[in-house]
Amino acid sequence: MTGSIMDTFFEECEELLEAMDAGLAAIEEGDQDAETVNAVFRAVHSIKGGAGAFGLDDLVAFAHNFETVFDDVRSNKLQLDEKLVQLLFRASDHLSDLVTCARDGGEVDQAHHDVLISALGEYIDDDEEELVFEPMGVGAAFDPAPLPSLAEAKEATFDIRFHPLKEMFDTGNEPYFLFQALSDLGELTVRLDDSELPGYDAMEDGESYLSWELTLVTSENRSAIEAVFEFVEGLCELSISSEGEEEADADALAALNAAFGLPPVEEESAVALPLEQPVPDAVETPAPVDAVAEVEVTPVPEVESEKVAIKAAGSKKESTKSSGPKPTLRVELDRVDRLINAVGELIINHSMLAQQIANLDVSDTRDVETELEGFKNLARDIQEGVMAIRAQPVKPLFQRMARIVREASAATGKTAKLITIGETTEVDKTVIERLADPLTHILRNAVDHGIESPEARAAAGKEKGGEITLTAAHRSGSVCIEVKDDGAGLNRKKIRQIAIDKGLIPENAELNDSEIDNLLFLPGFSTAKEISNLSGRGVGMDVVKNAVTALGGRVNISSNPGQGSVFSIILPLTLAVMDGMVVSVAGHTMVVPITAIVETMRGNDDMINNLGADGTLLSIRGSFVPICDVAGSLGLRSNTGDEPAGVYLLVETENGDRCALAVDDIHDQRQVVIKSLDGVCGNVPGVSAATILGDGKIAMILDPESIVTASSSAAVFDTDRRMSNAIAS
Amino acid sequence: MQLQAETKHTEHSEFVSFTVASQAFCLKITQIREIRRWQPVTVLPHAPADVLGVMNLRGAVIPIYDLSARFGLEQAEASERNVVIVVSVHDKPVGLLAESVSEIISIDPEDIQETPQVDSRNTMDFIQGIISQNDEMVRIINLNAVIASTEQVAL
């Protein structure tokens, strides 16, 4: 029981931490809007509240310090300068560590913890009260939290009119606790207004009819009172006016609010957070207790239609105004995956049906085919819908990366800033999860090896702080993620020398720049001379490459000396289904991804030109592209001039090279379900995955990119082949 | 007395014996998921000789190994009469091509003899022990050794 509640808490923490990071990032960007600051404050506050309920003391204590500083920011007592923002970032990182420790067990870096606490402490006024949160058992009363008594402060009288909406009770809020909190601020007089209470017959169950008029004599200011009502914002009609304090204005506002049924204080959406206000012991029970009890027991009646209209307007306003996330549903991933598998089977089933019908000896199948087409479209709709469930924006991933860069720059003493572009790009959840490690690695490398030290940068005439740009974008059926730094670029001479020293390439190997760059991805290559604790923990970029390849993607490096390097990761959009062209190659049925194909054509002898001993070029409208025999490249046929029947698929590789893939025939174009060969037979060169065709047979899905690179660089140094040879031997 | 008989009975393990390149092999019955008739498989490019290809097992893609090639025995063209023994290695289904399945034999663990020292490491690794059944030698396959080392090569 407790376990599941705690799980929920930690799930919420994830979201809250994300919201906090997002808010902090926005603040760093210069958006110091009250709403943004509030969002962060609320996130920290909610984490604290939840942690308090579970007795996670470390977390509570830290969150409290964090929150206190933020509260001062909120009330403009503290100015958000760069130093403070950086501290807040570190604090947010630490808070997320604390949450992780609380969830998975494990030790927090105590020294770091203390440093941050004292750093935050410098910003906290000494006269701030120390709030103590006690673990709260189910059904136990709240513990009182003593609030500061500033006796010498000037007292003022506030008139508060409070009318809870029905929704307030729906969310479990309780006026009684609010009044108790108010009575703590000063001397509170409560008067119940039951004038709207209809006759017993007209009462509607669950409706709210009661209002209260409160008079509070307090030394606190208006915001302290508003803070009490913070968690019922939007769930009640509230007006606060004080004698001498813009009374007329407040009245006018209250009247307006009443007219439109709007929450008067701020315009943010009502977040149904649990009541976490410090609530005092019920020593001096204020007057409205009986009234509250009445509300609880009375089945309350329907209101006048006018009121309903007002409330409708109010809630509408709420939904449009709401800057918070859209309502979401938490579903176990397993369930979604089951659905995805079922949809995959459905698509296979469709092609089986289509094949069966084609095999039937029936002359007129048009009607059936029309229906079958409808079936296909429906299946595609379902599939897209299901995939959309799994698709998630890369934003959380990018936010985590911001942290990596912060930590990496702190550890290396360099200044680097991460700029993220395209955070809303949606990618399959699995892809996001599995990208975290490779991206972390690339970013650490970028800070550690890419960005120069501030002095070196100054000498090169660059700005002191390095810049790393992390971009995500959709590009013709794939997702492209790019990490670009403005550092020194790859040191090719050094890379080459290391590769020779480690016996990865022969000393006399002639490599062009891009081949040298790709040496980084060879296993056993690590440029760090000493194993720094940042990057180069014995694992090299080959890990990055393997992780990306396992997702059916590719990594490319490009680099300009003195200007920096770019790592691009190109990934398929979905991991489950794709559009493919069914072809036959030396008697085998295979599938080529549609996205890779520029055009298809039937060639004749006139179009084929020999180049050198065994190179052949296809002439297409005056330009020549190299021909790559798929069967030969896959080792399915000896490559001895026995050219296939001459159907060519013109493909374009990532770096813009074109190549004509020679296949025997094209059969069909259809959706295929991707079945990973991962764990079935490891990495097969030239093949990205497999699929099941309509006849139940398995067909290989080709990876044109690797076929083209394998054949074009066969004569020169070939990373992929070397790798497979090295491992196989 | 009866109790003793029962415990004795549970000590017996059941094995499925089959022939590969005219030699008798067997696997524990609990290791076997199902036995299917041979159907042409989809060839994997650049695959080692003992990997025949992949097969569709109710929507899952499973690799098929040729046991005779794996053991370095004479390879025969697979035909309709051959069978694929689907086993589960590390929770993943894997198909093994065998000539034919013979019978289910019940063996007392005490009757299992250690593999005699022979001059081939592969053989020593792959064969867990031998049993004498009807004057014929039946070799118990060490499944994990057979598949694990294959996976390494493929990876």
The per-residue DSSP string of A498-509 comes to HHHHTTSS-TT-
Higher pLDDT, A395 or A201: A395
Q: Could you tell me the sign of the dihedral formed by the alpha carbons of A351, A357, A363, A369, in that order? A: negative
Tokens at residue A250, please? 């407040």
ipTM for this prediction: 0.79
pLDDT average, residue stretch A591-612: 82
Close Cβ partners of A259 (under 8 Å, ≥ 6 residues apart):
A310
Q: Does A727 touch chain B (CB under 8 A)?
A: yes
Higher pLDDT, A640 or A401: A401
How confident is the model at residue A368, as a pLDDT? 85
pLDDT tens-digit profile of A531-576? Answer: 444 444 445 677 788 788 777 777 888 888 888 889 888 887 666 6
Minimal C-alpha gap between B149 and chain A (Å):
11
Question: Residue A272's pLDDT band (boundaries 50, 70, 90)?
Answer: very low
Radius of gyration of chain A from Cα atoms? Answer: 33
Residue whose entry in the numeric block shows the structure tokens 């990618």:
A427
Q: Does B46 touch chain A (CB under 8 A)?
A: yes
Question: Which residues in chain B have their CB less than 8 angstroms from residue A686's CB?
Answer: 45-46
Tokens at residue A465, please? 């702080």
How confident is the model at residue A317, as a pLDDT? 40
Report the mean per-residue pLDDT for chain A. 73
pLDDT average, residue stretch A440-461: 84
Higher pLDDT, A630 or A276: A630
On whether residue B4 sits in a domain, the answer given is no
On whether residue B9 sits in a domain, the answer given is no
On whether residue B7 sits in a domain, the answer given is no
Separation CA A702–CA B6 (nearest Å) = 57
pLDDT average, residue stretch A331-340: 80
Task: State which amino acid sits at residue A617.
Answer: L
CB–CB contact A680 B151 (8 Å): no
- CA closest to B95 among chain A residues: A680
How confident is the model at residue A540, as a pLDDT? 67
Tell me which residue in A679, A690, A696 faces B92 most closely, judged by beta carbons. A679
In percent, the amount of chain A with pLDDT more than 90 equals 2
pLDDT average, residue stretch A34-63: 80
Q: Does B54 touch chain A (CB under 8 A)?
A: yes
CATH of the domain at B40: 2.40.50.180
How confident is the model at residue A718, as a pLDDT? 39
On whether residue B5 sits in a domain, the answer given is no
Q: How many helices (H) and strands (E) does chain A have?
A: 22, 22
How confident is the model at residue B40, as a pLDDT? 86
On whether residue B29 sits in a domain, the answer given is yes
CB–CB contact B56 A698 (8 Å): yes
How confident is the model at residue A712, as a pLDDT? 62
Q: Does A674 touch chain B (CB under 8 A)?
A: no
On whether residue B141 sits in a domain, the answer given is yes
Q: Does B64 touch chain A (CB under 8 A)?
A: no
Number of domains in chain B: 1
Question: Which residues in chain A have their CB less than 8 angstroms from residue B43's CB?
Answer: 588, 636
How confident is the model at residue A199, as a pLDDT? 76
Q: Where are the alpha helices (DSSP H) in A105-174?
A: 110-121, 166-170
Instruction: Find, among A567, A568, A564, A566, the residue nearest to A489 by Cα.
Output: A564
CB–CB contact B61 A634 (8 Å): no
pLDDT average, residue stretch A218-241: 77
Q: How far is CA A383 from the centre of its chain?
A: 22
Q: Does B153 touch chain A (CB under 8 A)?
A: yes
Question: Which residues in chain A have their CB less than 8 angstroms from residue B88's CB?
Answer: none
In percent, the amount of chain B with pLDDT more than 70 equals 86
CB–CB contact B59 A348 (8 Å): yes
Q: Does B144 touch chain A (CB under 8 A)?
A: no
- Furthest C-alpha separation in chain A: 102
Could you tell me how many CB contacts below 8 A there are between chain A and chain B? 67
Minimal C-alpha gap between B17 and chain A (Å):
26
How confident is the model at residue A687, as a pLDDT? 86
* Count of beta carbons in the 10 Å neighbourhood of residue A636: 17
CB–CB contact B54 A692 (8 Å): no
Tokens at residue A569, please? 């990761």
CB–CB contact A724 B42 (8 Å): no
Q: How far is CA A244 from the centre of its chain?
A: 49
- Among A350, A681, A683, most B C-beta atoms within 10 A, so best to mutate, is A681
- Among B36, B37, B42, most A C-beta atoms within 10 A, so best to mutate, is B42
Minimal C-alpha gap between B88 and chain A (Å):
12
Q: A81 pLDDT exceeds 80?
A: no
Question: Which residues in chain A have their CB less than 8 angstroms from residue B48's CB?
Answer: 728
Instruction: Find, among B106, B110, B109, the residue nearest to B133 by Cα.
Output: B106
Separation CA A184–CA A149 (nearest Å) = 10
Residue B140 structural domain: 16-154
Q: A641 pLDDT exceeds 60?
A: no
Q: Does A682 touch chain B (CB under 8 A)?
A: yes
CB–CB contact B56 A699 (8 Å): no
- Among A628, A639, A698, most B C-beta atoms within 10 A, so best to mutate, is A698
Question: Which residues in chain A have their CB less than 8 angstroms from residue B47's CB?
Answer: 681, 684
Q: A207 pLDDT exceeds 80?
A: no
Tokens at residue A473, please? 């974008």
Separation CA A655–CA A649 (nearest Å) = 18
Q: Could you tell me the sign of the dihedral formed by the alpha carbons of A421, A424, A428, A433, in that order? A: positive
On whether residue B34 sits in a domain, the answer given is yes
Do residues B107 and B131 lie in contact, with contact meaning Cβ atoms separated by under 8 Å? yes
Radius of gyration of chain B from Cα atoms? Answer: 16
On whether residue B33 sits in a domain, the answer given is yes
What phi, psi does A55 have (nearest 5°)?
70, 30
pLDDT average, residue stretch A415-430: 85
Q: Does A636 touch chain B (CB under 8 A)?
A: yes
Question: Which residues in chain B have their CB less than 8 angstroms from residue A636's CB?
Answer: 43, 45
Question: Residue A106's pLDDT band (boundaries 50, 70, 90)?
Answer: confident
Tell me which residue in A685, A692, A698 faces B46 most closely, judged by beta carbons. A685
How confident is the model at residue A590, as a pLDDT? 92
What phi, psi does A240 have (nearest 5°)?
-120, 125
Residue whose entry in the numeric block shows the structure tokens 């549970």:
B10
Q: A509 pLDDT exceeds 60?
A: yes
Average pLDDT, 10 consecutive residues per value, chain B (155 residues): 48 88 90 90 84 84 88 78 89 89 88 79 80 87 76 42
Looking at the DSSP bridge assignments, the partners of residue A577 are A673
Separation CA A510–CA A495 (nearest Å) = 13
> What strand order describes the sheet that includes B60-66?
B32-37, B83-89, B92-98, B60-66, B51-57
Q: Does B43 touch chain A (CB under 8 A)?
A: yes
- Among B36, B39, B43, B46, most A C-beta atoms within 10 A, so best to mutate, is B46
Question: Residue A295's pLDDT band (boundaries 50, 70, 90)?
Answer: very low
CB–CB contact B45 A686 (8 Å): yes
Question: Residue A501's pLDDT band (boundaries 50, 70, 90)?
Answer: confident
Separation CA B55–CA B95 (nearest Å) = 8
How confident is the model at residue A257, as a pLDDT? 54
